């Protein structure tokens, strides 16, 4: 039996004016949240689905979303410009790590910029999509989508992600989805209230999976070997190339390695 989301337990987040709309199945919670936002839904509207048929990942990839996972999207209306919107993704990454550690007692780390790893396997992906106010670079709204592999899917993971995808537990008779959901929402909104102060940046840096490691990055110029040094004050990735030169890469420009595929 799969751990179930319990609709009556979803409306307990501590965040002010957060209200939850639960669906058994949606193509994509990000898509539905976007429709709500475009129709005026207020900040804190959360769309949750027990599974998705067309879950979306970064870079146009699919996100494998069977009912063994947790999938939700939050409507946000922050006073941010598009350059600052990365703060939402990075704050969510820290919030998810904290929640996983509280609920499962396992260490959770961040693979820059939006993947969460436990035991060297990807257990969560984050996708933030924004809409701008006409003629400006100010956000009209942002949709923060979070997908977590909670337990192993009944038919396993598809071959193309089976090496990279991990899960949080094999105990299916517990309340972990509801606990994770509440913890993530609570942790996220506690960071979100002072988002632009970037007080969570040191924690993000501390939680980085690849610090000190040599990895390959895919840039517009092709694949390159770099040593990961950390993040800068704008969450750019500080790296050192083989010739010793140091550079900061932005998340729009690069992905790390070949195993960043979505699920």
**58/98 with CB nearer ligand BTN:** 58
- Binding residues (CB under 6 A) for ligand BTN: these are 28-30, 52, 55-58, 61, 63, 71-73, 115, 125-127, 145-147, 262
Q: How far is the CB of 190 from ligand BTN (least distance, A)?
A: 21
**7/240 with CB nearer ligand BTN:** 7
Q: Which residue is at the shortest CB distance from ligand BTN?
A: 125
**126/139 with CB nearer ligand BTN:** 126
Q: How far is the CB of 199 from ligand BTN (least distance, A)?
A: 25
**71/157 with CB nearer ligand BTN:** 71
Q: How far is the CB of 92 from ligand BTN (least distance, A)?
A: 10
Q: How far is the CB of 134 from ligand BTN (least distance, A)?
A: 25
Q: How far is the CB of 133 from ligand BTN (least distance, A)?
A: 23
- Rounded-to-integer distance, Cα 1 and Cα 9, Å: 19
**164/195 with CB nearer ligand BTN:** 164
**66/147 with CB nearer ligand BTN:** 147
Question: Which residues are bridge partners to 87 per DSSP?
Answer: none
Secondary structure (DSSP) of the chain: ------GGGTT---STT-EEEEEEEES-HHHHHHHHHHTTPPTTEEEEEEEESS-B-GGG-B----TTEEEEEEEE--S-BGGGGHHHHHHHHHHHHHHHHHHH----EEETTTEEEETTEEEEEEEEEEEEPTTSSBEEEEEEEEEEE-S--TT---GGGTTTB--S-S--SS-HHHHHHHHHHHHHHHHHTTGGGTTTHHHHHHTBTTTT-EEEEEETTEEEEEEEEEE-TTSPEEEEETTS-EEEE-TTT-EESS-----
Q: How far is the CB of 127 from ligand BTN (least distance, A)?
A: 4
């Amino acid at each position: 039996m799969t751990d179930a989301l319990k609709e009556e337990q979803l409306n307990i987040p501590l965040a002010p004016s957060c209200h939850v709309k639960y669906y058994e199945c949606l193509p994509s919670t990000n898509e539905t949240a976007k429709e709500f936002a475009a129709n005026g839904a207020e900040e804190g509207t959360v769309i949750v689905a027990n599974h998705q048929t067309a879950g979306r990942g970064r870079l146009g990839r699919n996100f494998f979303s069977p009912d063994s996972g947790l999938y939700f999207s939050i409507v946000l209306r922050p006073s941010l410009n598009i350059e600052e919107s990365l703060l939402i993704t990075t704050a969510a990454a820290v919030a998810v790590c904290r929640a996983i550690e509280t609920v499962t007692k396992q260490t959770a780390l961040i693979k820059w910029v939006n993947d969460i790893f436990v035991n060297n396997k990807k257990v969560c992906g984050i996708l933030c999509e924004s809409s701008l106010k006409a003629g400006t670079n100010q956000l009209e709204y942002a949709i923060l989508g979070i997908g977590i592999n909670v337990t192993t899917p009944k038919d396993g993971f598809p071959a193309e992600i089976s090496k990279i995808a991990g899960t949080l537990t094999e105990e299916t008779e517990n309340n972990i989805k509801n606990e994770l959901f509440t913890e993530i929402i609570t942790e996220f909104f506690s960071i979100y209230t002072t988002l632009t102060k970037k007080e969570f940046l040191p924690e993000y840096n501390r939680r980085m999976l690849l610090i000190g490691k040599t990895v390959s990055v895919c840039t517009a110029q092709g694949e390159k070997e770099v040593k990961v040094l950390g993040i800068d004050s704008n969450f750019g990735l500080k790296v050192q190339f083989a010739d010793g030169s140091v550079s900061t890469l932005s998340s729009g420009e690069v992905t790390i390695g070949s195993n960043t595929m979505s699920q």
